[in-house]
C-alpha cells in the first residue's frame, strides 16, 4: 500500500495536498521572476511566435497570423491568443506579458505532476514530482520561452489527469469529458498530436488486463460510447472549426503550411529513430531515476491497484511517445517537454523511496536543499554564462537602444513613425512595431516628397540605396554594434536628432501613410492611432495590387474612421476639430 492510502484520518487529500501545492507554486514563482529579471534572448525559434502575437496586437488578425516575413502561421493560435490577451493587460508586449502564459503553463504542469504524485504515490512524491518539472534544463528554459510547448504540455497533462481519473471510475463520464475538452484545447495549441500523446498512456489498460477497472453494465458502456463520440465531435468543432475559419481567411497557404509542410512534411521525410539516450540527456540527471522507475513498474509493480495503474500509465506515456516522436524527421529537445510530467513523477517516487527511512523533518530538509540548489543554478547560469552568449548580447543591445527611443516617445507624447527595410526582427519587437518590411520601391516613393521619415535598418550601409531629394541628408539616430555576422540594427532619418515631428511619412504593409499636424500613436488591433492638433490631414497611397481597408482612430476627438483605398490609388482623410 502506498503512503497516500495510509493514515488519512479526518483530513481530506485536497487539504493535505494544499501545502504541497502552495510550496511548489512559491518555488516556481521565484524561478519565473529570476528568468524575467535576468538577460533575455528573444531570437531563434521565438521570432515566429512573437511575430504572430504582434500581428494580433497591431493588425487585429485573430483568426490567422503571419510571421515577420509574411508567411502564414505554422501553428494553431491558442498560445498566440493568450499572449495577446496578456499584452492587453500589461500595456503592450513586453517581457512580462510575453512570458506570463508560458510561466503559468509550467506552474500548472508542476502542480498537476505534484498532484499525481501525491494522489497515487504519497506526500513526498508529490513534493519532488512538482519540483522536478522545473529542475531540469527543459523545464528551466520553458519557464520563459515564447513557444507553444509549455501550454501544449500543460493541456496534455490535464488530459492525462482526467484519463487516469476516468479509468479509476466505473463510468468516468465527467472525467472523459474533461479528457476530450483538454485534448481539444491541445489540438488548438499544436495540432492533433496532442490528442495522440494524451491517449498513449491508456494503453496500460491492456497491460493491466483483467485487473483493469471493469465497466459494470451495458448501459454504462453505451453511455461511454456516447461520451467518446461527443468528445470527438468537440475536438472537431474546436480544432476543425478554427481551421475552417482560418482557411476562409488565408486560403491554400494555410493548408500548404500547416498540413503540407508541418504535418505531412515532417512525418514523411523519413523516420529518424529517437534513441532513449535522447530522452535521458533532456532530463538528466532525473531521467536515470525515471528509467529505473519504469524498470520497477515492469519487474516489481505496485500492489495497490490504483498506484499500479498509474505507474503503468506513466511508463507507457514515455515509451510510446518516444516511439511516436521517432517517426518524425523534425526533432528537437523542446518536443520532449510533454514527457516532463511522467519523468518527474516516476523519478520523484524513486527519490521518496531512497529517503523513506529518514524522518519527515529530514525529508523536508532534502527537498528544501534541492529547491534551493535549483534556484541557485538557475540564477547563476542566467546571470553569468548565458548573458555573454552572442544572441543575448545582441538582444540586450537592441533593447537598450529601444529604451532610449521609448523615453523620447514618452517625453513627446507620440510614437516614432518607423518604416522597416531589411531590419532585424528583434528590432521590430524592441521598438514595438509590426509593419512588415517595406519594398525598395515603396521606400523610394516614401522619401520622394521630402516628408520626415525614420528608417529602421539592419546593415547601415543599406541607406546608400536611397538618395534623398536635393537639400536633404541622412542623419544617424542609432547605430548598433555588430555581433559576429549579425547587425543589431540602425535608425536613420532625414531630420537631425531632436523631437518627434508632428509631420511625417511611413510605410505600413502596402500603404504609404503621410500625416501633417498630428501625432502618431501607433497601431492597435488593425487601427492606426493618431492625435490631431486642430485639423490634420492623413494621406494614404496604396502601392499594393488589391484594394485596402484602413482603420484610423483620432485620440483627440475619440473618433474612428475607416477608408477604402483602391489599388494604386490615393486618398486623403481630414481628421480633428473642423
Strand-pair partners of 476: 492
Angle at 576 between CA 573 and CA 578, to 5 degrees: 95
pLDDT of residue 431 exceeding 50, the answer is yes
CB-based contact 472:507 (threshold 8 Å): no
pLDDT of residue 331 exceeding 70, the answer is no
Nine cell digits for residue 451 = 516628408
If one counts every other C-beta atom within 10 angstroms of the C-beta of residue 99, the result is 22
- Among the ranges 56-60, 166-170, 313-317, which has the highest mean pLDDT value? 313-317
240: helix, coil or strand?
A: helix
Q: Considering only CA atoms, which of 100, 94, 101, 97 is closest in space to residue 77?
A: 101
Integer Cα distance of 195 and 424 in angstroms: 37
pLDDT of residue 481 exceeding 80, the answer is no
Q: What is the pLDDT of residue 9?
A: 35
Q: Considering only CA atoms, which of 479, 503, 505 is closest in space to residue 492?
A: 479
Mean pLDDT of 561-565: 92
pTM of the predicted model, to two decimals? Answer: 0.90
Sorting pLDDT into bands at 50, 70 and 90, what band is 503? very high
Nine cell digits for residue 505 = 511619412
569: helix, coil or strand?
A: coil
Write out pLDDT tens, residues 171-217: 667 899 999 999 999 999 998 889 999 999 999 988 987 665 555 55
Integer Cα distance of 374 and 385 in angstroms: 16
Residue 534 host element (H or E): strand 527-542
Mean pLDDT lowest for which of 67-81, 450-464, 481-495? 481-495
Name the residue with cell 531629394: 469
Phi/psi at 563 (5° precision): -130, 150
Residue 430 has, within 13 A of its CA and on its CB side, a CA count of 29
Cα end-to-end span (Å), the chain: 82
Query: DSSP assignment of 463-529, as one string?
Result: GGG-PPPTT---EEEEEPPEETTEE--EEEESS-SSSPPSEEEEEETTEEEEEEEEEEEEEETTEEE
pLDDT of residue 266 exceeding 80, the answer is no
Write out pLDDT tens, residues 137-149: 999 999 999 999 9
Mean pLDDT lowest for which of 104-108, 256-260, 568-572? 256-260
CB-based contact 166:210 (threshold 8 Å): no
Q: What is the pLDDT of residue 5?
A: 46
Q: What is the pLDDT of residue 433?
A: 82
DSSP state of 355: T
Q: Considering only CA atoms, which of 265, 334, 251 is closest in space to residue 72?
A: 251
Q: What is the pLDDT of residue 142?
A: 94
Integer Cα distance of 191 and 262 in angstroms: 10
pLDDT of residue 14 exceeding 50, the answer is no
Integer Cα distance of 479 and 463 in angstroms: 12
Amino acid at each position: 500500500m502506498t503512503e497516500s492510502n495510509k493514515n488519512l484520518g479526518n483530513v481530506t487529500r485536497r487539504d493535505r495536498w494544499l501545502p504541497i501545492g502552495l510550496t511548489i507554486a512559491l518555488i516556481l514563482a521565484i524561478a519565473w521572476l529570476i528568468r524575467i529579471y535576468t538577460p533575455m534572448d528573444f531570437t531563434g525559434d521565438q521570432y515566429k511566435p512573437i511575430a504572430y502575437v504582434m500581428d494580433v496586437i497591431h493588425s487585429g488578425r485573430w483568426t490567422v497570423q503571419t510571421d515577420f516575413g509574411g508567411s502564414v502561421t505554422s501553428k494553431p493560435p491558442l498560445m498566440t491568443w493568450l499572449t495577446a490577451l496578456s499584452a492587453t493587460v500589461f500595456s503592450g508586449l513586453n517581457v512580462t506579458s510575453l512570458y506570463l502564459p508560458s510561466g503559468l503553463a509550467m506552474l500548472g504542469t508542476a502542480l498537476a505532476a505534484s498532484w499525481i504524485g501525491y494522489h497515487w504515490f504519497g506526500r513526498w512524491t508529490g513534493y519532488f514530482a512538482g519540483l522536478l518539472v522545473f529542475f531540469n534544463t527543459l523545464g528551466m528554459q520553458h519557464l520563459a520561452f515564447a513557444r507553444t510547448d509549455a501550454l501544449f504540455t500543460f493541456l496534455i497533462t490535464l488530459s492525462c489527469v482526467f484519463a487516469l481519473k476516468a479509468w479509476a471510475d466505473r463510468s468516468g463520464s465527467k472525467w472523459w469529458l474533461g479528457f476530450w475538452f483538454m485534448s481539444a484545447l491541445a489540438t488548438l495549441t499544436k495540432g492533433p498530436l496532442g490528442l495522440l500523446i494524451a491517449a498513449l498512456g491508456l494503453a496500460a489498460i491492456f497491460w493491466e488486463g483483467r485487473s483493469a477497472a471493469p465497466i459494470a453494465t451495458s448501459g454504462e458502456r453505451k453511455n461511454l460510447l456516447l461520451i467518446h463520440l461527443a468528445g470527438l465531435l468537440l475536438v472537431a468543432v474546436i480544432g476543425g472549426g478554427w481551421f475552417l475559419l482560418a482557411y476562409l481567411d488565408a486560403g491554400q497557404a494555410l493548408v500548404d503550411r500547416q498540413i503540407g509542410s508541418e504535418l505531412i512534411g515532417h512525418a514523411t521525410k523519413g523516420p529518424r529513430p529517437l534513441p532513449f539516450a535522447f530522452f535521458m540527456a533532456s532530463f538528466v540527471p532525473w531521467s536515470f531515476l525515471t528509467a529505473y522507475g519504469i524498470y520497477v513498474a515492469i519487474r516489481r509493480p505496485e500492489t495497490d491497484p490504483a498506484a499500479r495503474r498509474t505507474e503503468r500509465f506513466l511508463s507507457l506515456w514515455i515509451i510510446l511517445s518516444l516511439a511516436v516522436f521517432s517517426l518524425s524527421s523534425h526533432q528537437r529537445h523542446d518536443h520532449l517537454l510533454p514527457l516532463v510530467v511522467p519523468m518527474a513523477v516516476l523519478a520523484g517516487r524513486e527519490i521518496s523511496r531512497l529517503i523513506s527511512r529518514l524522518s519527515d523533518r529530514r525529508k523536508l530538509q532534502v527537498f528544501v536543499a534541492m529547491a534551493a540548489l535549483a534556484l541557485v543554478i538557475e540564477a547563476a547560469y542566467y546571470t553569468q554564462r548565458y548573458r555573454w552568449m552572442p544572441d543575448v548580447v545582441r538582444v540586450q543591445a537592441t533593447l537598450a537602444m529601444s529604451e532610449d527611443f521609448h523615453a523620447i516617445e514618452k517625453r513627446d507624447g507620440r510614437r516614432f513613425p518607423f518604416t522597416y527595410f531589411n531590419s532585424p526582427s528583434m528590432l521590430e519587437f524592441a521598438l514595438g512595431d509590426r509593419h512588415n518590411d517595406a519594398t525598395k520601391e515603396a521606400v523610394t516613393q516614401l522619401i520622394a516628397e521630402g516628408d520626415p521619415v525614420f528608417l529602421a535598418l539592419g546593415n547601415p550601409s543599406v541607406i546608400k540605396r536611397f538618395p534623398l531629394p536635393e537639400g536633404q541628408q541622412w542623419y544617424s539616430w542609432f547605430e548598433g554594434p555588430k555581433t559576429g555576422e549579425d547587425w543589431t540594427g540602425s535608425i536613420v532619418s532625414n531630420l537631425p536628432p531632436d523631437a518627434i515631428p508632428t509631420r511625417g511619412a511611413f510605410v505600413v504593409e502596402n500603404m504609404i501613410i503621410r500625416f501633417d499636424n498630428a501625432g502618431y500613436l501607433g497601431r492597435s488591433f488593425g487601427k492606426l492611432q493618431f492625435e490631431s492638433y486642430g485639423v490634420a490631414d492623413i494621406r494614404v497611397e496604396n502601392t499594393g495590387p488589391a484594394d485596402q481597408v484602413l482603420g484610423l482612430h483620432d485620440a483627440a476627438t475619440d473618433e474612428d474612421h475607416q477608408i477604402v483605398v483602391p489599388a494604386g490609388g490615393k486618398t486623403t482623410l481630414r481628421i480633428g476639430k473642423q
